[in-house]
């Protein structure tokens, strides 16, 4: 029995606030992750039923807009006039790691030849892992 006026020590740990904080952080990361992997150039990706969830941490993201302009790290390259600069940028990535995956975010309305030019440049520089990004069809 307890004596009057003495409080019992609380020995249990309340993890509810910790769980709340972890869930809020999870939601923030889920919202922010797609913004990190996709650049500032907005393109409409084609739809696909196939979903691949495996992602490697180091990759090169290339975006092709509807006009055929190529963007790497938000820097615009014109494939016809800046082909040498584009080739040099890919060469740097290939020298750093030949297994660097190239993720191509091509707008659904861009020319197929624009995508093939980027793939050919990547292969010429020794980059063999090329991924075409799509959005999941719902």
The total of other beta-carbon atoms located within 10 Å of residue 44's CB is: 13
Residue at 57 is within a domain? yes
CATH number at residue 114: 3.30.420.270
- At 12, is the pLDDT very low, low, confident or very high (cuts 50, 70, 90)? confident
Residue at 39 is within a domain? no
User: Could you tell me which residues are beta bridge partners of residue 103?
Assistant: 61, 131
Tens digit of each residue's pLDDT (9 = 90 or more) over 66-120? 888 898 877 888 877 778 888 888 888 888 887 888 889 998 888 888 889 889 9
Residue at 9 is within a domain? no
User: How far is the C-alpha of 98 from the C-alpha of 10, rounded, in Å?
Assistant: 58
Q: What is the pTM of this model?
A: 0.57
Residue at 51 is within a domain? yes
Residue at 18 is within a domain? no
Residue at 128 is within a domain? yes
Residue at 87 is within a domain? yes
Domain that holds residue 132: 47-136
Residue at 5 is within a domain? no
The total of structural domains in the chain comes to 1
């Amino acid at each position: 029995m307890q004596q009057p006026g003495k409080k019992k020590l609380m020995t249990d740990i309340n993890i509810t606030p910790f769980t709340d904080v972890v869930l809020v952080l999870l939601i923030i990361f889920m919202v922010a992750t797609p913004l990190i992997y996709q650049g500032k150039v907005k393109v409409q990706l084609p739809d696909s039923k196939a979903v691949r969830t495996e992602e490697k941490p180091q990759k090169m993201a290339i975006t092709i807009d509807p006009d055929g302009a190529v963007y790497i790290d938000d820097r615009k390259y014109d494939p016809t006039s800046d082909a040498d600069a584009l080739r040099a940028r890919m060469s740097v990535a290939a020298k750093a790691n030949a297994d660097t995956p190239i993720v191509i975010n091509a707008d659904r309305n861009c020319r197929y030849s624009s995508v093939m030019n980027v793939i050919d440049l990547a292969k010429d520089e020794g980059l063999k892992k090329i991924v075409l990004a799509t959005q999941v069809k719902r």
